[in-house]
Amino acid sequence: MNPVIAIDGPSASGKSTVARRVAAQLGFVYVDTGAMYRAVTWRLLHEGIDPAKTAAVAAFSERMDFHAIIKGGTTRLECNGPIDPDALRSPDVSSAVALVARVPETRARLVAEQRSLRALAPLVMEGRDIGSVVFPNTPYKFYLDARPEVREARRHLQGEEDAINRRDNIDRSRAVAPLRVADDARVIDSSSLSIDEVVAAVCSALDTAGLQCRPTDSHAS
């Protein structure tokens, strides 16, 4: 069975950058599950379906043709056709995605897709429910957090203005797979740590657990 490193946490906790770098150091495939929820949201908007209409989102999710294809150390997404990764961080998608991610039928389809990837490669998978729901039995679980004002400031620096607190509140309070810390996750507060320090903390825990991180030349994401 291929190993899975689960990296969960709220928006702008630093988990994408950290997950990408840890995946590169381990030689594992990096999987961004937030991008999967965003891909469904983009396609819904493109097809003129209102993301606030739960029944319509559920019906769409049950019949959608969704694939995550492993390529070049990460995944390329298809949802009723190819998805342009650059479209996934648009304000329209960012403000609607938490509504889509709370729909159980959508989650069921994407969680099945996420689990199926493990048969193909060792994974570093980031999201909200990877350690708690998708792979509850993996021994490698991390939960990255940072103070709300630090996360807001990071999002502004990235040029994104979406209301992450509103999104996090929907993610935390939804009925299915809410954002929470898995009981056995290692919690890292990155408020006053650099990315290098967080990557070092994750890699040191993985080294202790028997997985070898090898520093790479490039930090390109």
Query: Where in 83-122 is the site for ligand DC (CB under 6 A)?
Result: 97-98, 101
Exactly one of 28, 30, 37, 42 binds ligand DC (CB under 6 A); that residue is: 37
Q: Considering the rule CB under 6 A, would residue 33 count as an interface residue with ligand DC? A: yes
Q: How far apart are CA 105 and CA 37, in angstroms?
A: 12
3-state secondary structure (DSSP) of residue 160: coil
Q: Give the count of beta carbons closer than 10 Å to the beta carbon of residue 76.
A: 13
Shortest distance (Å) from residue 76 CB to ligand DC: 16
Shortest distance (Å) from residue 11 CB to ligand DC: 5
Residues in Cβ contact with 14 at an 8 Å cutoff, skipping those fewer than 6 apart: 144, 146, 154, 190, 195, 198
Shortest distance (Å) from residue 88 CB to ligand DC: 8
Site string for ligand DC, 153-192 (x = CB under 6 A): --------------x---x---------------------
Amino acid making up residue 184: D
Closest CA to 23 of 208, 206, 173, 210: 206
Contacts with ligand DC by CB under 6 A lie at 11, 33-34, 37-38, 97-98, 101, 127-129, 167, 171
